[in-house]
Amino acid sequence: MTPETKARINVDDMLTEAGYVLQDWSNINRTAAHGVAVREALTHSGPVDYMLFVDGEPVGVVEAKAEDKGSSLL
């Protein structure tokens, strides 16, 4: 398993624990739940690992990094 794959699994778990419903960009329903996290979302500046929606409105993005890269918010 690559470090990026491991990071994505960890991020998936953390987003699920935080109450987000995970979806893929190819089958998006941003109002499916109060919080929706869309994997591999496309933006005007390029793809992001996750785009976060609350009540259907975009509120942020998350970039998954290997554990030895970047910073943890926890």
Domain locations in the chain as residue ranges: 3-62
Q: What is the pTM of this model?
A: 0.83
Residue 71's pLDDT is 65
Q: What is the pLDDT of residues 17-69, one digit of tens each?
A: 999 999 999 999 999 999 999 999 998 999 999 999 999 999 999 887 766 76
Whether 39 contacts 47, CB under 8 Å: no
Q: Could you tell me how many residues make up the chain?
A: 74
Residue 4's pLDDT is 78
